[in-house]
Amino acid sequence: MEASSPESSAPALEEVGIALSKLWWLWLVFGVFWVVVALVILQFDQASVTTVGVLIGIMFILSGLQQLLLGSLTGGWLQLVLLLFGLLLIVAGIIAFISPENTFAAIADILGFLFLIVGTFWIIQAFGERDINPLWWFGLISGMAMIVLAFWTGGQFFIDKAYVLLVFAGVWALFQGVNDFFRAFQLRELGRLTR
């Protein structure tokens, strides 16, 4: 049994990219949405705990649905990672809606761990897209920034973590939006090249 090489997975990913090129505008819509969410979240000074818990739930569910959509259109190990991460985000979103106050407190307590998970996922995704995405390095830099933030946040007090949590939600949405803008125009260009 032969091990699959990175070169053999690149054509499969490129075929998925070509199929997705017709839907390039969808990533543009996602990008605009995430940037608007980031702007709204970053406007809060002293938002209520419930409001922040609900916003986090909405972000988790929408991000989970986006990952499931992308995972359903890919193949191989990347599909498994995207589908698993999407399901975990949706479950986290549902839990956030059930108890937004407890969600806020719990997320503030485990904020460093969340940064670590998100940063690791973004790095894995960046390397997974390296062969077909010339801007894969943006995902890599975003992931490394999240991991640095994870270690920095681990030593904060709860009050500080509450404000960091707001900033995290805004930065996460902003990075997600910028990544989606990059993907939209890359898919559009791929569609033009294959015509």
End-to-end, the C-alpha distance of the chain in Å comes to 36
Domains of the chain, residue spans? 50-96, 110-195
46's tokens: 């002293």
Residue 46 pLDDT greater than 50, yes or no: yes
* pLDDT at residue 47 greater than cutoff 60: no
Contact 140, 120 (CB under 8 A): no
Please determine, for residue 127, whether its predicted confidence score (pLDDT) is greater than 70: yes
A 10 A CB-CB count for 14 gives 14
Q: pLDDT at position 1, please?
A: 42
Per-residue pLDDT tens digits for 128-185: 888 877 878 888 998 898 888 787 776 665 555 667 777 777 887 888 888 888 888 8
Angle value at C-alpha 23, between 126 and 41, nearest 5 degrees: 60
Q: Is the full-model pTM beyond 0.75?
A: no
Closest CA to 136 of 182, 175, 171, 181: 182
Burial of 11 (C-beta count, 10 Å sphere; 0-12/13-18/19+): exposed
What is residue 11's predicted lDDT score, i.e. its pLDDT? 55
Mean pLDDT, the chain, whole residue set = 78
- Does the pLDDT of residue 8 top 60, yes or no? no
Point out the least confidently predicted range of 4-13, 73-82, 171-180.
Answer: 4-13
